Structure 1
Amino acid sequence: SLATALTLVPMLSSRLIKVSAEPDPKSKRLTARLYFAIGKILSTIELFYKKLLAAALDNRGKTALIALLLLLAAFVLTRSIDSELMPMSDEGEVRVSLDMVAGTKLELVDQKMLEAESRIKDMPEITSIVASAGGGGWGSSNTGSLRISLLSKSDRARSDQQIADEIRARLGAIPGTRVRVFAVSNNRLTRVMGGGGGRIEIQVRGHEMDEAYRLAGIIMQHVESVDGITDVNLSRTAGAPEDLVIIDRVKAAELGMSVQQISATLETVLSGRSAGDYLDHGKEYPIMVQVKDADQMPIKELLDLSVSNSDGVPIVLRNVVSTQSGESSTVIERVNQERMIDVSANISGRNLSAVIGDIQNRLDEIPVPIGFSVEIVGDYKEQQESFRELFIGIILALVLIYMVMASQFESIRDPFIVMFSVPFALIGVSLILFITGTTFNIQTYIGIIMLAGIVVNNAILLVNTTNQLREHDNMKLREAIEEAGRRRLRPILMTALSTVLGLLPMAIGMGEGSETQAPLARAVVGGLLSSTLITLVVIPVLYSAFEGGLRDKSWSEK
């Protein structure tokens, strides 16, 4: 656009723009009426601005104080605006994850999946349901999932989150199951596809897993009591049933048997053991020795097997081993080589920052044993890291903008005056986010970074024009300030309104998935409007203070 503005626009202007006489005021043509109507509106705006600027220059201290109070009010208002990593968008899809006790037969899981389908298939917003019972990849036989496609956003009255809430209520009463419902959004599609955790994740770290499991259970109960929390889940659930075979080393040694000999016998019975290879026509086939139907052998029969000791005397296994029934963990997770249990949850009807605040208050009430740590991760941790990096980006953008202006103005003071227009954009940003209920998120911060480069343009026009009038036309300071404001009012309003109108459809949030981009547009629109209106008054006042002195009563004659 810069190259076009410097080359193509001047050429087209010389060819296409023609100077014509002013239309006859008595003409009844539509173009003439429109011309005079717009001219009358702009003249009224210019007259109002002239009086406003004169009053501001006559009361520079009060003007600066009002601007400062507005800025402080904006900072206070930002405390009432929630934050999140990314805005949730309505993608028209809901996922359901169904878990049963480890070891549940696939046939029973399939029955529960059919029951779940029958409970929700009459909902009018649902267009299709894809069900999957049993695990593949990371899944297991005791799990199932539903992929529910919805009507387009414009064809339904409820949001995907409201539909997910109803689905959760309908499926919550299925006996023997744990149901989690996710409204699929762009920033967690991968996590949902994997059937993973929710937007909130709390890691409990420690080497003693039984104590960590107890602590995670307490945290889970506290998290469930927070308003807006749904689908609370533990990453470590009840494992598959197993029988532990414990070798009595003392008895084995007294009977002339080694631990390796006993374990090798058990391995041969249950898993099989290589007995060499069979060679047939140049091909080798491994020979495995194993008890027939060993996986279905009762534990009592296994203990009745005999093993010969070092003297060749057969010893029954039950004389040297004992069994203990228990459960095995289906998943073992570690973070930085430390065992970890993850407590995950989803959010419904509230923003991330508000829920995190309540959860943190609950966690502060829980005593954490020595050697254990509790940390909130997931979207919250990503949000903190992203916001920190974006804040650095904003500071870097401001420094670069100042350096560019300093080189162009060949002055340190004039760019400093121009930079005062940036913080006043926060007034409009905070106000429009508060009114529309929009959160601070990554898109909002990107919009603020864009604002830093946009809002200084208006102040540059005012300061540059004022300098030219003082240098080339030898105008007094106040006269140059007022004349610069009058001359640059229309270009400033034109550029600001054209940008605002161009972003208005995005700010309104038209179309599916628009929730993701709307915060960016709203931040730019609000910041540009407030910065433009305040800049037209405050920048001339600041310019007069820097050039003529704040207490010098004869500043206007300089």
Structure 2
Amino acid sequence: RFAGAEQEPEGPHTAELLVTLKPDGQLNVPKATAILDKKVSQIHDLNISYLLSQSSLSSLIGSEQAAIVIQVKGRSLDVLADITQQIYQRLRGLSELTNVRTNILEGNPEVDLIPDRTLMASLNLSPQQVITLIGNHLRGQIATTIQDIDQAKDIRVQLGRDDQTLAELEDIFVPVPGASKAVRLAELVNIRIQPGPKEIVHKDQERVAQTFADLAEGTKLSDAVAAVRDRLATINMPENYYIRLGGEEERRRQSFESLRFALILALILVYMVMASLFESLVHPFVIMFSMPLAAIGVVWAFYLTGQTLNMMGYIGIIMLAGIVVNNAIVLVDYVNRLRRVDRESTVDAIVHGSQRRMRPILMTTLTTILALTALALGFGEGADSRAPMAIAVIGGLISSTLLTLIFIPVLYSIVNDITEFLRRLFGSKDDDIDEDGFEADTGAI
């Protein structure tokens, strides 16, 4: 669904169409946009832009209006409009971009009064005095008040609608302080009629003009950003005016900064919970090693599917912090039980534990992957925004499961040997029970 579903038409010269794509998945938004562009390009004097209708989830997570957003900051609306028009013309010629548009829209006509400050100063007139006089003529003045039962009503005297014309405005006489004469308003100000801005956007207490662009089909975000930077470098910026490149790239940077703390906190909490359950600081460390193994699968999953790592993808990575450790927990806990209850040696416990726990581990992982497959394939409306989360979890589960059955037993054995060496080095030579309650290995297999 796209084409500005959330906005009202902006005037008699503007039309809005709502297009809903069929849920069969044969046509996505970029392909539909390309097809429509070919059709409407045959119509002259027509400006068309496409706006993706955001789902409730996309609105909640703060989705941008476009992949590329260029902000121009400054004070003068005229200068902002001129710079934005230059950016618009330069970006339209880039093959990496499509659907280039701006937020500089013409609104209703308005009357601008540009004062002759030199003449007004010589007559001892201030702009505020002139503004007050014009307001009194247009809005009228309260002549008196009448009492209507229990409330007072103001009686306002003003010009009739037929007299509120531009000619009448020019013929307003402005009294000169300290003199017995008056000056026509047309002599004090330059009056002009021009379209006013549809909206004035402010960000960080500065006026902002924005240019939006979507990625052409098959274009990488990094390539598009590089091409845009090259085009923007050719624009001569006036003093105190700045260009900032945002959009998906900016959102990705901000999301990573905000979610990095959440990921670190998740890792700490997972480690603390496992340390309290295992009553050991060593075994949770072995289990936590499965997380880097999951990162390998996440990278490959996004590379193979061609998806970008957005905020939903980061959320999937944070979910992995609590999911991928399950397989290692099952394996390490069973190995510990074999050592503690059956008094098996470390090597025997690792071999037997890996053999017996492999089937439950594979079954648990497979059911989770199958449950997320539909989400990863992007079925249903708004599924494109949720697919990266499922892709991150599936990729991490596949790599961590396969590598956990190989690296976790090896790492467990290495860490156990190091712990045993340190215990023998600093502990009692007659102590046959290690700190975790396991019988110390004698070296026999």
TM-score by length of 1: 0.63
SS at match of 1:358: helix
Alignment check: 8 A CA contact 2:21 2:27 kept: no
Amino acid at match of 2:200: I
Q: How does 1:233-382 map to 2 (within 5 A)?
A: 233-237=101-105, 240=109, 242=111, 244=113, 246=115, 250=119, 266-267=134-135, 271-274=138-141, 276-277=143-144, 279=146, 284=153, 286-290=155-159, 293-295=162-164, 297=165, 299=167, 303=170, 317=184, 320-321=187-188, 323-325=190-192, 327=194, 329-330=196-197, 331-349=199-217, 350=219, 352=221, 354-364=223-233, 366=235, 368-382=237-251
Aligned residue among 36, 42, 45 for 1:167: 36
Query: What is the root-mean-square deviation of aligned Cα atoms in Å?
Result: 4.0
Percent identity among equivalent residues? 31
Alpha-carbon separation, structure 2, partners of 1:182 and 1:212: 23
Q: How does 1:443-522 map to 2 (within 5 A)?
A: 443-522=312-391
Residue 288 of structure 1: how far off its partner (Å): 2.0
Residue 535 of structure 1: how far off its partner (Å): 0.9
SS at match of 1:439: coil
Q: How does 1:126-137 map to 2 (within 5 A)?
A: 135=10
Alpha-carbon separation, structure 2, partners of 1:536 and 1:474: 22
Residue 352 of structure 1: how far off its partner (Å): 4.6
Amino acid at match of 1:425: A
- Establish whether residue 557 from structure 1 lines up as the match of residue 444 from structure 2: yes
**Which residues of structure 2 form unaligned runs of 5+?**
422-440
Alignment check: 8 A CA contact 1:205 1:373 kept: yes
- Establish whether residue 148 from structure 1 lines up as the match of residue 18 from structure 2: yes
Label 1:276 to 1:458 Cα distance change in 2 as closer, same or farther (>3 A).
same
Alpha-carbon separation, structure 1, partners of 2:162 and 2:196: 25
Q: How does 1:43-192 map to 2 (within 5 A)?
A: 92-95=1-4, 135=10, 141=11, 144-150=14-20, 152-154=22-24, 157-172=26-41, 176-186=45-55
Alignment check: 8 A CA contact 1:220 1:343 kept: yes
Alignment check: 8 A CA contact 1:96 1:180 kept: no
SS at match of 2:298: helix
Alignment check: 8 A CA contact 1:164 1:182 kept: no
Alignment check: 8 A CA contact 2:267 2:321 kept: yes
Alignment check: 8 A CA contact 1:94 1:160 kept: no
Q: Which residue of 2 aligns with 1:223?
A: 91
Alpha-carbon separation, structure 1, partners of 2:257 and 2:101: 29
Alpha-carbon separation, structure 1, partners of 2:276 and 2:323: 18
Alpha-carbon separation, structure 2, partners of 1:548 and 1:190: 53
Residue 489 of structure 1: how far off its partner (Å): 1.8
Residue 424 of structure 1: how far off its partner (Å): 0.7
Label 1:470 to 1:268 Cα distance change in 2 as closer, same or farther (>3 A).
closer
Amino acid at match of 1:470: R
- Is 485-494 or 245-254 further displaced after alignment? 245-254
Residue 318 of structure 1: how far off its partner (Å): 7.4
Alignment check: 8 A CA contact 2:290 2:400 kept: yes
Q: Which residue of 2 aligns with 1:106?
A: none
Alpha-carbon separation, structure 1, partners of 2:342 and 2:192: 98
Alpha-carbon separation, structure 2, partners of 1:375 and 1:227: 21
In the TM superposition, what whole-angstrom CA distance separates every residue of 1:391-441 from its partner, at most 9, and x where no partner exists?
A: 222221111111111122222221111111111112222222222222212
SS at match of 1:144: coil
Q: Which residue of 2 aligns with 1:385?
A: 254
Alpha-carbon separation, structure 2, partners of 1:538 and 1:174: 63
Q: Which residue of 1 aligns with 2:268?
A: 399
SS at match of 1:182: coil
Alpha-carbon separation, structure 2, partners of 1:260 and 1:521: 61
In the TM superposition, what whole-angstrom CA distance separates every residue of 1:451-506 from its partner, at most 9, and x where no partner exists?
A: 22222222223223333333343433322221221222222222222222232333
In the TM superposition, what whole-angstrom CA distance separates every residue of 1:3-30 from its partner, at most 9, and x where no partner exists?
A: xxxxxxxxxxxxxxxxxxxxxxxxxxxx
Alignment check: 8 A CA contact 2:4 2:16 kept: yes
Label 1:303 to 1:513 Cα distance change in 2 as closer, same or farther (>3 A).
closer
Aligned residue among 191, 204, 209 for 2:72: 204
Label 1:326 to 1:549 Cα distance change in 2 as closer, same or farther (>3 A).
same
Alignment check: 8 A CA contact 2:111 2:193 kept: yes
Label 1:179 to 1:96 Cα distance change in 2 as closer, same or farther (>3 A).
farther
- Establish whether residue 232 from structure 1 lines up as the match of residue 119 from structure 2: no
SS at match of 1:201: strand
Alignment check: 8 A CA contact 2:5 2:53 kept: no
Alignment check: 8 A CA contact 1:229 1:346 kept: yes
Label 1:328 to 1:542 Cα distance change in 2 as closer, same or farther (>3 A).
same
Residue 539 of structure 1: how far off its partner (Å): 1.2
Residue 511 of structure 1: how far off its partner (Å): 3.4
**Which residues of structure 1 form unaligned runs of 5+?**
1-91, 98-130, 136-140
- Establish whether residue 541 from structure 1 lines up as the match of residue 393 from structure 2: no
Amino acid at match of 1:478: V
Alpha-carbon separation, structure 2, partners of 1:396 and 1:166: 46
Q: Which residue of 1 aligns with 2:434?
A: none
Q: Which residue of 2 aligns with 1:36?
A: none
Q: Which has the higher contact order (CA 8 A, sep 6+)?
A: 1
Alignment check: 8 A CA contact 2:73 2:206 kept: yes
